[in-house]
Structure 1
Amino acid sequence: MTVLLEICVDDAAGVDAAVAGGADRIELCSALELGGLSPSPALLRHAVGSGLPIHAMIRPRAGGFVLQDGDVAFMVDEIGLALAAGAAGVVVGALQVDGQLDRDALAAFREAARDAHVVLHRAIDLTPDPVAATEVACALGYDHILSSGGAPNAIDGAARLAEMVAAARGRISIMPGAGVAPDNVAHLLAQSGARAVHSSASVALAHPAEREVRMGFATGPRRATDAAKVRALRSAIDNRHEPQGA
């Protein structure tokens, strides 16, 4: 089966590395060290110019996914701006205080995106039951779910991801993410039955100077998308041995 490789990036160099390494699609963010925030207009313009489909993160602030007053309207505005700038889709998530998906907010995001693709991000991994949440996302008309199966990484969540794939019944794409690497992607695909994977394919940069950390400009080493790792992922996906009957 053909497997789509999505690479998440948070700067212009990352866009270029994803393209050079053979990614099929880019999830575009800022501040990946915070789990990903909405990208700047200039970064979005650069990414759209790459020619790859771009899914823009819509997350205006760090922290959890229980939205505050005004967040939905602000995110709806961001969705419109991202799509007007050429994004092929948007990546969103929202939870209620009890951890269930916030259906009203997610419905508003789906309506705002119109015909564009909408991805439910790893907020789903904080729900009590990601399999049940998969059904909710299907009912809302979402196109993709990014998930680690409720585990810290997708390998540990592979069994749950397989349950999510089965629950989706082809109505929505389940895309494993978190810890996806060239040396485990073939096993992950075989275990989960997914047809798309998501990875940062990144390497750690030099640790920031102590003064930068002390002044609050950095918290630790940034990571950067690496074209060689993207290429290795692409190769591992394309050269894997599929089970009989797959």
Structure 2
Amino acid sequence: MMKITHKICCALLLLTTAVFTVHADSLPNHMKEASELTSNVFQGLKSNVLLCVLPSSTTPNNVGDVIGKVIPGLESGSFLCEYSQYSHGLFTGPHFTTDFHWLDVTYDQLASWLTSLAHFEKSSNGHYYVLRQKDHNPDHPPAICAQNTARKGFEFGYEVITDSGEKSCDHFVGAVYTSPFFDDVLAGWNECTGDSFSPDCHRCNGDGCSAFRCSAFTTWDQCPKGSHVCGYETCVGNLCTQKRLCEWDK
């Protein structure tokens, strides 16, 4: 199976230039060496929890793709990749290494690239993207996936396929690229007492909430002056941003 460095780094850096020429100028150099991560850069990228990837040369017995999350090291200005080791169908750890690459992207860049380059899957927990190859070795770690989790963002983990064929993105490694589009509210909260309305939506279509009318990247304007938020409508099984409900002040 291709290494994650090829799946993400090469996929994001080199990948099928004939098909994705439009992205070519924006892709280079986003899988970076550990030495390029400084305290200022790390602080500037918060609240993202950066994805780290072990180079193939450091993975024992050529086990395949190993990912984790970047954490501060014991020494000031140093960083580690915290990851789990996969063996005989189980993940053990945590383990730590200073030899890693890290993914330096924004949420929007990641969303664009996953939409273009990864396989789209649906599960009981919503949709996710997976970098799956046909020649996967079952003794290697499962394929890398990214779950678009409401009120979080893209959360990286490994794909799980049950004996019955059910697929999901699971065993998250803690690497999360925070979404700027989700409101931190209770799903479906509604305390509207009279006629309610919704402000304008962006990256939307029609009502901005029903099937094919919205996405995880839909945003809603604030309630206009003289009104207040009285609730949120859950859209398309949480696959889309919640629709803000407003009510005029009395």
TM (norm. structure 1) is 0.26
Name the larger-Rg structure: 2
Bigger relative CO (Cα 8 Å, ≥ 6 apart) = 1
Bigger strand fraction: 2
> Which structure dedicates a bigger proportion of its chain to helix?
1
